[in-house]
Chain A
Amino acid sequence: MLMLDVKDVHKHFGQLHVLKGISLQLERGETGVLFGRSGSGKSTLLRCINYLESIDSGEIYVDSELVTPDRAKLRKLRANIGFVFQHFNLFPHLSILGNVTLGLKVVKKTPEDEAREIALKALEDVGLKEKAENYPEELSGGQQQRVAIARSIAMNPKMILFDEPTSALDPELIGEVLEVMKDLSQQGMTMLVVSHEMGFARETADKMFFLHNGKLVEEGPPSEIFRKPKTEECRRFIEAIL
């Protein structure tokens, strides 16, 4: 069962051709790691899947649903896709619990008590139940990112997209976030992760995708990608970051 099906997607920013015909698939429960040089279009691809950016041509299906600009459909779709940002984007005026329950209450119209229960469970999953009453600014970067993940999980999504979730973190905080993501992956969540954490990719990814200048030039299981990359660019890139 395909969870994510990206078909020949093109995207321009003005004159700049950022995505040049990307096709990529993820099965339900798979974890994909997307990597490549800065500016290669990784964030743009992720954002297109959630329609934070429009696409010029091609099609994207999430669980067989076409990603369209139709607003009502889009809201439903987005409620079913988690998105974890590089800079967390927690809501600073809401408590941790408020952050995790907001989507439930506003989008899913979940009653207060039930929303609270679901949120506490999600916070427990990321190991932050005791911080429920704190505010984002009182948490470390790693903790904030775990809250952002809990905010996504609480919505019970079909898939979660991660855009460089650890690259804004101090090195000693990266581990705790990757640990949470690994757990999620093992519990069967479908995930597409933009990351250059090669240790995480090796242990967790089912598939890896190497994006270069807006094209998907290489894809395969980590064993293949790390052992014998097919293209020179990919080989050099992996060497540079390992």
Chain B
Amino acid sequence: MVFGKLSIADINYLWRGTLLTLRLCLTGIGLGLILGAIFGILRANPRKTLTKMIAAAYIEFFRAVPLMLLFVVGYFGIISLGYNVSRFGAVVAAISLYTGAYIGQVVRTGIESVGRGQWEASVSLGMSYVDTLRYVILPQAVKIMIPPAIGVVIGVVKGSSLASVVGYVELVLAGRHVIQRTYAPLLVMGTIAMIYFVICYPLSILSKNLERKL
């Protein structure tokens, strides 16, 4: 028997894992959006300010390191130093910082893709940098940002699976527990892959369609 069987309890367990994956993703995306908006806007500043450089360093760094190792350092690393951290806290912190960097890049690209003429027209009216961003640039940039931001969301959903590495029982780790009980790896991993697919595929279609409409 290649497939094996799942009991109701196993299915419930996987369902709980799915919910925990969603909770982790939504928290990470929520905090990541806030971080990304702040650092992306600072990064897009045409003048070379200190905040711009900090934002640039933050965005460039987190976009050039593996998410899995951020989880590992954030949890095992901190614990090895003798501090107490909750798994959820460590995992959320890592995924938020990571998401924030990617969203930050999306925000920056979006702001910079609004033509120079819009800046000049606003500034010529006597508007300040902040007012120009708020009333002229961001309303136009948000439309441009949405498709790539959805791409980031897909990446976060997939990346959240790596939290299993530090023992956070989201969908993948829940699956591994079920495999240990049932010896049905094909069925369980197949189911898990399908759950991710059902979340991610519609999002990627949406992103593609919105991008085409731009």
- Where the two chains meet, the residues of B that have a C-beta atom closer than 8 Å to any C-beta of A are 115, 117-118, 120-128, 131, 135-136, 139-140
Q: Which residue of B lies closest to A81 (CB)?
A: B124
Interface residues of A in 132-174 (CB under 8 A from B): 148, 151, 155
Please name all residues of chain A whose beta carbon is closer than 8 Å to the beta carbon of B120 when the two chains form the complex. Answer: 52, 83, 85, 89
**Given A85-B117, A92-B140, A52-B124 contact (CB < 8 Å):** yes
Q: Kindly specify which of A33-41, A72-80, A189-197 makes contact with the partner chain.
A: A72-80
Q: Is A106 an interface residue (CB 8 A)?
A: yes
Q: Assuming A52-B124, A78-B123, what are 20 further A-B pairs, CB within 8 angstroms?
A: A50-B124, A52-B120, A75-B127, A75-B128, A78-B125, A81-B124, A83-B121, A89-B117, A89-B120, A89-B121, A91-B136, A93-B140, A102-B135, A102-B136, A106-B125, A106-B127, A106-B131, A107-B125, A107-B127, A155-B125
| A78 smallest CB distance to B (angstroms) | 4
Please name all residues of chain A whose beta carbon is closer than 8 Å to the beta carbon of B126 when the two chains form the complex. Answer: 75-80, 103, 107, 155
Task: Determine chain B's interface SS by DSSP, over half rule.
Answer: helix
**Given A91-B136, A92-B140, A93-B140, A103-B118 contact (CB < 8 Å):** no
- Where the two chains meet, the residues of A that have a C-beta atom closer than 8 Å to any C-beta of B are 50, 52, 71, 75-83, 85, 87, 89-93, 102-103, 106-107, 148, 151, 155
Once the chains are docked, how many angstroms separate the CA of A71 from the CA of B127?
A: 10
Please name all residues of chain A whose beta carbon is closer than 8 Å to the beta carbon of B122 when the two chains form the complex. Answer: 91, 102
Once the chains are docked, how many angstroms separate the CA of A151 from the CA of B122?
A: 11
Residues B121 and A79 in contact, CB atoms below 8 Å apart = no
Please name all residues of chain B whose beta carbon is closer than 8 Å to the beta carbon of A80 when the two chains form the complex. Answer: 126
Residues A103 and B127 in contact, CB atoms below 8 Å apart = yes
Once the chains are docked, how many angstroms separate the CA of A71 from the CA of B67?
A: 42
In-complex Cβ contact of B121 among A71, A90, A106, A155 (8 A): A90
